[in-house]
A and B are shown apart, each in its own frame.
Chain A
Amino acid sequence: MRRAETTETPREVISVRHLWAGYENELVLEDINLAVNELDFIGLIGPNGGGKTTLLKVLLGLLPPMRGEVRILDKSIKEGRRYIGYVPQVVQFDRNFPISVWDVAQMGRLGKRRLLQRYTTEDDKVVAEALRQVEMLDLRDRPIGELSGGQRQRAYIARALATEPKILLLDEPTASVDPQVSTSIYELLSRLNEHVTILMISHDMSAISAHVKTVGCLNRQLFYHGEKQITPDMLEAAYHCPIDLIAHGIPHRVFPEHVVEEV
């Protein structure tokens, strides 16, 4: 079940077909097609307002699609989202909220226990294992408000892992941490990727391209060919203003030929 050693075609865990989505009077996503295969590690980049968050909302069942179809493990979104471990952005956060690392991670078990059911010792084991994986077990009793940005991100990842997900869905996982911490989080994600499929969105192209297996660009439309390299035309199509991005320091190797012309 876990790893397909043979060369059989990988299982598609998320399939998005001709998805159109947006809000009342604003279309944000146009005709998105995306196939996420088992044990993929996909990074989606794109400008702010390019629809990254909207796509995420659709995948989580928080925003109904206008048109098109989304299947998660060949189930509808509402059914399938329980296989998704969601790691939100940690930027907006109430530091005074009275909750410990353990209690946050334990929320990952909510989907497994219905109303009126208590958490069991089995839940405790799963939560402890999740915290161990992100190296946060020692800080289990620490109030979440007293953690550093990186530790908090790990606590959120532990919560997602506690759902025993097939897919991890991350929203800007390194938005609020410094580069060193960011690297250690990506290393953690790479380790986790041995067992779980990862899809993440970010606007930080330099960080993302160094760690993920494949990259896509999203700006109303999705440019994804299941490749590691970001091609100039993907960028140009997604950003319209590629020069600006280069100034922000993209590692060289994402540009095989690096011929980027201004439009």
Chain B
Amino acid sequence: MIEALSEALQFTFMRNALMAGMLISIACGIIGTFVVIKRIVFVSGGIAHAAYGGIGLGYFFKFNPVLGAIIFSVTAALGMGAVQRKTHQRADTIIGVMWAIGMAVGIIFVDKTAGYKADLMSYLFGSILAVPSSDLLIMLVLDLIVIALMVLFYKELLAISFDETFATVENVPVDTMYMMLLCMIAFTVVMMMRVVGLIMVIALLTIPAAISGQFVKDMKKMMVLASILGVIFTTTGLWLSYFLNLTSGATIIMVSGAVYLLSLAVKPLLRHPEPEIESASASAG
């Protein structure tokens, strides 16, 4: 077993994969915590799926699809945020429509692109074993952006998550902060796309934070624990998929999901009575 492990580590793709898992887990733990406590799982799902439009755009115009995904997901984030803020009704319907249009745009562009589209599926279902070093660099940069924004605006982000009305009265620029948070989600989603695929991004974004939130009651600790859990899930899932010859993204999600269900079962045994646990990670594409 050990031999097999060290043998696998000889491969660059394996080392890249492990590194990618760690890099996304950091952003995932931080941003996932906000997504779970602010209950914006649905919007996050919309941002993730709309990113596919950018993939198609990248294919069609022959530039890095990851770049296209960043552009599309950030645009979707700002659009969906504006819809939520400006329209009082049917915000979720409009977000659902934008979600679908984003994907449709991607598919049409891909249709119109001539030639063989080898790694198209990897954006949908992830392919952590095929992460090139250039993508690692993009992940690192996005990670640093997410961490920097989090540190700089922690008190405002906490305030708008906990009590937006009070934050407004205290003259916190709540709309700007919320838009920034959605952009951070967009960045995170793009990073994660390579690892678990757009369709399952939401699961990996929410599950570690949801588990973590059951056991710690402090936002910073929740982020740290969620990040650690993310590293454990991606690493475990990666090795399992390697040895069992399974799709890596799906295996990572299975590991995460199993631990989440386990944590739901174990929690009542560990703690004295507390109100029901919210179902934070309900909508995995």
Using CB atoms and an 8 Å cutoff, list the residues of chain A in contact with chain B: 60-62, 78, 81-82, 84, 86, 88, 94-100, 103-104, 106-108, 110-111, 113, 115-116, 118-119, 143, 145-146, 159, 163
Contacts and interface: CB of A to CB of B under 8 A. Distances in A.
Contacts of B161: 97
A94 B213 CA distance: 12
B241 to A, nearest CB: 32
Contacts of A113: 155
Contact of B155 (A96, A104, A119, A143): A119
Given A98-B221, A110-B167, 11 more contacts: A60-B168, A82-B171, A86-B165, A94-B278, A96-B277, A99-B158, A107-B166, A111-B170, A111-B172, A145-B217, A159-B166
A62 B166 contact: no
A61 B165 CA distance: 10
Contacts of A103: 158, 218-219
B168 A107 contact: no
B165 A111 contact: no
A71 B275 CA distance: 43
B63 interface: no
B168 A62 contact: yes
Given A107-B159, A110-B159, A111-B171, A95 B165 contact: no
Contacts of A145: 217, 274-275
Contacts of B156: 110, 115
Given A99-B162, A115-B173, A119-B155, A107 B275 contact: no
Interface in B196-226: 213, 216-219, 221-222
B67 interface: no
Closest 6 CB pairs of A and B: A143-B217, A111-B170, A110-B170, A98-B217, A98-B219, A98-B222
Nearest to B219: A98
Nearest to B168: A62
Interface residues of B, number: 31
Interface string B22-54: 000000000001000100000000000000000
B31 to A, nearest CB: 15
Interface in B148-180: 152-153, 155-156, 158-159, 161-163, 165-173
25 contacts: A62-B165, A62-B168, A81-B169, A86-B166, A86-B169, A88-B163, A94-B37, A96-B37, A96-B213, A96-B277, A97-B37, A97-B162, A98-B218, A99-B158, A99-B162, A100-B217, A100-B218, A103-B219, A104-B162, A106-B155, A110-B172, A111-B172, A115-B173, A143-B218, A146-B217
Nearest to A118: B155
B218 A99 contact: yes
Contacts of B275: 95-96, 145
A60 B217 contact: no
A163 B169 CA distance: 11
Contact of A116 (B152, B163, B168, B274): B152
A119 B221 CA distance: 19
